[in-house]
Structure formats: structure tokens, C-alpha cells
Amino acid sequence: MLKISIIIPCYNEELYISNCIDSIISSEYPIDQMELILVDGMSTDKTYELIEGYCQQYSFIKVFKNKKRIVSYALNLGIMHATGDYIVRLDAHCLYPKNYLSRLVEEATRLKADNVGGLCRTLPADTNAVSQAIAIGFSHPLGVGNSLFRIGCDSIQEVDTVPFGCFPRNLFNRIGNFDVELVRNQDDEFNARIRKNGGKIFIIPDLVIDYFARNSLRKSYLMFYQYGLFKPLVNKKIGGPASVRQFIPLLFVVFLITGVFFSFFSPLVLDLTIVLMFSYLLVTLIVAFKKSVEYSNFLLMFLLPMVFFSIHFGYGWGYIRGIFKFRMFRNNSINKSLIVSNR
């Protein structure tokens, strides 16, 4: 049996961390062949205390402090202390099925893959209608495009990225660790680097992770704004885009902004802009109506269009800001204010 090292970066996860750790402890993978390394980003709630309680109870659980408070640093710190044959990168905001770890190692070995991961079943953070709308938006093609780990698939297949993956330990010796310049998208950049170096990434659809989404439109917007903001830097580092879908929100926002501006000078542009926005609103309302009927919650009719807009505009506007910050002005400095706005 191969030994695995599980690394979980966390920050202010007192509502989720215990259930996450419990789901790992109850895994069918032998405890004597795993180590759980949690790296806390100087949490201001009870996250660190809760983890320490588990450390006192279980010798295979360790905790380290991440004073940089950036996920990439946390992952690299965990890798430095890892002793396993495989390294599994997990998230504190999730629950994992009992066979998750064993299936990852099984498929990574069978497929000779450099990364394997499962699907995300996005769940609302609470019973609030806003949380339900956000969870739906995060897992619908209108919200996230053809991202298979979010919308699902039927068979094991090669993909450009997976969440919460499993990597052979020697991969990091071959292509390096996670990029510390990236507050967001460090997984995307790392996966792109895997593929650029001839590696393969596979999604395992029978492995389903329960992921708890954000609980407010502001947090949803900030999450996708940060994804968009750091995407140009990722593209710069890997020498090109990893997928086409990343440009759709960018084009949407560019068309929206330029359309509104030039509408003051051209009736034709005004008409085109109105048609675009009406078409966009109509599509989101159709999806919202179907979901409101499916979930018997007619508040979704009003909330889902706002969720979709927060995703699209947040990502697109962040991308524009990222182009100016990282490509035009070539400024790779990390904005510390972005680090603690995850939850």
C-alpha cells in the first residue's frame, strides 16, 4: 500500500474544518499509510484550536502556520513536510467520500497520471435562498461553461484541470512547486504546467466531492473577480491560455462597457447594446424559471440572474484589471487585501 500525504490549506474555517477532517478520518484508506497536513493561514476564529484538538488525538495529523497567508505558500510548506508517495491537495470547505483517497491512488497508478481528481457537487452554505441560488449558479453551464468538474461528466477522461487532485511525489521534483505569485488560480497554473511538460490529468466522475459554495453575492463576486484578475498572469507564465471559456466573460464585459460608452454617440450602438442585454437577461430568466420550478422556490427567479451576472461580470472585470496589472504594467506584486476575502 502506497503512503499518501494529504495537504489542506485553511483560513477561518471553523464551520467546516471538523466535518472535513472527520470525512478524511473515516476514509477507507488505512490511517497508518496516510498523513494529514493542515496549513493554517493565521485564522482569527477557532480553526487552529479545532485542528490542534485533532492533532492531540491522532498522531498522523499535523498542523503548521502559514504566516504568508497565501494558498501557494501553504501548499509548498505542506509539500516540504510531506513524506508520502502521493500528495493529495484537498480543501477545507468540502466533504470527501470514503473511497476518495483509495480511488485516486488506484486510478493515478493505473492511468500513469500526473494528476487525478473527482467532480464537485456544489451545495448551498446554508438554507438561505441566496445560498441556494449561488450553489446552482456555480454548477450550471450558464455560470461556469464547460468546466467538467463543476457540471459533471459520464466517463473517465483527460481534462485541463481537476480540483483537489492527487499527484505523484516526484512530479514536484520534475516541474517545481506551486507558484507563490498567484493568490488565485495556483491550481490552474500548476495543471497547465503539468500538461506543458507532457503530463496527463484525468477526471474520475464516480468520485463526487461535496463542496459548500459561498453564502453571499459579494463573496461570489469577489471569488470570480480574483479568478479573472490572476488569469492573465497565469497565461503569461504558461505562454498562452489553457482554455477558450475564460475569454467569454471578458468579451461580455468589454462589449458591455464599450457598448454603454458608445451608445451616447451612436443610436445603432445603443440598439445593439440593448439587444445584447435583453438577450442576456432573457436567457438567465429562462434558466432561473426552470430552476425555480425544479426547486419549488420562486425567489430563484430573481436571485439566479444576479448570481450569473456576479459570476460573469466579476470574472470579466477582474480579467481586464489583470491585463493592465500583469501584462501592460508588468506588475506581479501580490495585493494583500485579496488574500483574506476568500470566505
Q: Give the model confidence (pLDDT) of 149-164 as tens digits.
A: 888 888 999 998 898 8
pLDDT tens profile 93-107: 899 999 999 999 999
Mean pLDDT of 171-176: 94
Using a pLDDT cut of 90, give the percent of the chain over it: 77
Kindly tell me the burial class for residue 282, based on how many C-beta atoms sit within 10 Å of its own C-beta (0-12, 13-18, 19 or more). Answer: exposed
Distance of CA 89 to the CA centre of its chain: 12
Mean pLDDT of 7-23: 94
C-alpha cell at 307: 448570481
C-alpha cell at 95: 466533504
Query: What is the residue-averaged pLDDT of the chain?
Result: 90
pTM: 0.86
Distances (CA, A) of 11 to 40, 42, 44, 74, 333: 6, 7, 8, 10, 21
Asked whether the predicted pLDDT for residue 341 surpasses 80, the reply is no
Mean pLDDT of 138-148: 89
Q: Encode burial over 318-329: b for 16+ CB neighbours within 10 A, e otherwise.
A: bbbebbebbeee
Asked whether the predicted pLDDT for residue 307 surpasses 90, the reply is yes
Asked whether the predicted pLDDT for residue 45 surpasses 60, the reply is yes
pLDDT tens profile 208-267: 999 998 889 999 999 999 999 999 988 888 887 767 788 899 999 999 999 999 999 999
In whole angstroms, give the CA distance from residue 190 to residue 260: 38
Task: Give the pLDDT of residue 238.
Answer: 83
Mean pLDDT of 293-297: 93
Mean pLDDT of 130-145: 93
In whole angstroms, give the CA distance from residue 336 to residue 95: 29
In whole angstroms, give the CA distance from residue 106 to residue 100: 10
Reduced DSSP (H G I as helix, E B as strand, rest coil) percent helix, strand, coil of the chain, to 5:
50, 15, 35
C-alpha cell at 13: 474555517
pLDDT tens profile 111-120: 999 999 999 9
For residue 81, what is the enclosing H or E element? Answer: helix 71-81
